[in-house]
Amino acid sequence: MNHHRIKVLLIEDNPTDARLIQESLSEASDDPFDLETADTLAGGLQRLSAGGVDAMLLDLALPDSFGQETFVRAKAQALGVAIIVLTGMHDDTLALKLVQGGAQDFVAKVDVSGNNLTRAILYAIERERLEQEFRKLNEELEKRIWDRTSELEAANRELEAFSYSVSHDLRAPLTHLHGFSSLLLDNHASQLDEQGQRYVRKIKDGVLRMSSLIDDLLTLAKVSRQELRRCEISLNSLVEEVMKDLESETSEREIRWLVGSLPMIECDRGLMRQVLVNLLSNAIKYTRKREHAVIEIREDVIDGKKTIVVKDNGVGFDMKFADKLFAPFQRLHREKDFEGTGIGLATVQRIIHKHSGRIWADSQPGLGATFYFTLGSEITNQSTKLTAQVVPA
């Protein structure tokens, strides 16, 4: 910059001050400045719009504008032009305010001398240049973020459309398959022999299984897209609520529930409910062959972290398959022994991960399974004491 002539626009209505500044600038060692003067803001802004100005020396008290307003109006039209505000008095508060608003410097007229004005202008120009560069980089970055966000939003919309069509269009043919198979059995059984009827029943079973697979997959997909709506809830009352929901599965079973004193937790209630429904109905399902089923839910501290523990005395699983446990469609038991789609624990894991938590399991075949989960730092209330209470199944 220093090798070119530097165009400085002075907006100042007081001829004495204007002359003072003009003289100060010409005193500067290598006199790099071309100075133009305007005595109103309007005149100054008109000159500014003609272009070529590198820096502006701006008096705030002008015939057509006063104070901070003068600066705001000048700044609005001076993109890339360094503004140095001139003032008759010391006013640090105003100075700071203007610098925050984008002025490059603030010089009191009483302090004006050739060297410090020259330095102020040169540094102001340099700062303005850096600021412009920074702004440009920032704009580019913002544009890239914007583009990426739009791409992601588009992908998300496509995914929404896809799951919508899965929800609607894939289910419709299933209702037909099931409906007409049922009608075949109800109204035309006489035309089918025993084996034929068995085949039709198999078709119906297959349809219902397909239908629950679709439902579970949609739930899994929804969990991934859904935003968390966090609130503080009592884990004990949620557990109670879920146990009531599962009554149809437990009414004819003898299950001893050991529910400890559980903490208040900060989480998405609907999603946490799904976690508990999955973990507890798994515990109910896999203890089915036990005469005395015991299901325990308590809080513990593991590796210094508050952890929720769900433990059953069911069939358990072999730990060498532990890594498959949370993968979608992975099942460790035969459908014949224990029904299921293999999506439940995948959903549970996604929900826990969404809460920045961790879930893992521990088991030995025949000796039951224990599931542990943390919720990042969200388990709020200190209550680690196990006060067992037996809830009749």
Partner 1 sequence: MNFESAPQPIDILLVEDNEADVRLTQEVLTDSKVRNNLIVANDGAEAMACLRRQGKFQNSARPDLILLDLNLPVKDGREVLAQIKEDANLKTIPVVILTTSKAEEDILRTYKLHANCYITKPVDLDQFVTVVRYIEDFWLAIVKLPSNHKS
Residues that bind partner 1 (CB under 8 A): 163-164, 167-168, 171-172, 174-176, 178-183, 207-208, 211, 215, 218
For residue 96, give every residue at least 6 positions away whose Cβ sits within 8 Å of its Cβ, in sequence order, or none. Answer: none
CB of 215 to partner 1, least distance (A): 8
Residue 115 half-sphere exposure toward CB, CA atoms < 13 A: 0
**Beta carbon nearer to partner 1, 177 or 309:** 177
What's the CA gap between 309 and 300, in Å, rounded?
7
Q: In a 10 Å sphere around its CB, with 0-12 CB exposed, 13-18 middle and 19+ buried, how is residue 357 labelled?
A: buried
Smallest distance, partner 1 to C-beta of residue 201, A = 13
**171/324 with CB nearer partner 1:** 171
Distance CA 204, CA 190 (A): 18
Which residue's CB is nearer to partner 1, number 169 or number 252?
A: 169
- Phi and psi (nearest 5°) for 204? -60, -45
- To partner 1, the closest distance from the beta carbon of 271 in angstroms equals 15
Which residues partner with 10 through β-bridges? 37, 57
Place of tokens 């989480």: 267
Rounded least distance, CB 218 to partner 1, Å? 7
- Give me the least distance between CB of 167 and partner 1, in Å please: 5
Q: Nearest distance from residue 171's CB to partner 1, in Å?
A: 4
Which residues partner with 360 through β-bridges?
372
| Cα dihedral 119, 123, 125, 131 in deg (nearest 10) | -170
Quick one: CA dihedral 318, 319, 323, 328, positive or negative? positive
Pick 218 or 233: Cβ nearer partner 1: 218
Structure-block tokens of residue 196 = 């034929």
For the CB of residue 203, give the shortest distance to partner 1 in the complex, in Å: 12
Name the DSSP letter for residue 170: I
Query: Is there a contact between 261 and 385 (Cβ–Cβ < 8 Å)?
Result: yes
Q: Of the two residues 135 and 201, which places its CB atom closer to partner 1 in the complex?
A: 201
> Among all chains, which residue has been given the structure tokens 């059995």?
185
Q: Which is nearer to partner 1, 163 or 261 (CB)?
A: 163
CA 35 to chain centre: 53
Residue 121: which of 86, 87, 90 has the closest Cα? 86
54 vs 268, beta carbon nearer partner 1: 268
Q: How far is the CB of 232 from partner 1 (least distance, A)?
A: 25
Give min distance, CB of 266 to partner 1, in A: 24
Q: Between residues 94 and 185, which has the closer beta carbon with respect to partner 1?
A: 185
Burial group, residue 174, by CB count within 10 angstroms (0-12, 13-18, 19+):
middle
Nearer Cβ to partner 1 (50/172): 172
**What is the nearest approach in angstroms of partner 1 to the Cβ of residue 172?**
5
Residues contacting residue 83 through CB under 8 Å, at least 6 positions apart: 55, 56, 58, 71, 74, 75, 102, 103, 104, 124
Characterise 329 by phi-psi region: left (phi > 0), alpha (psi -120 to 50), beta (else): left
Instruction: Output 163 or 384, the one with its CB closest to partner 1.
Output: 163
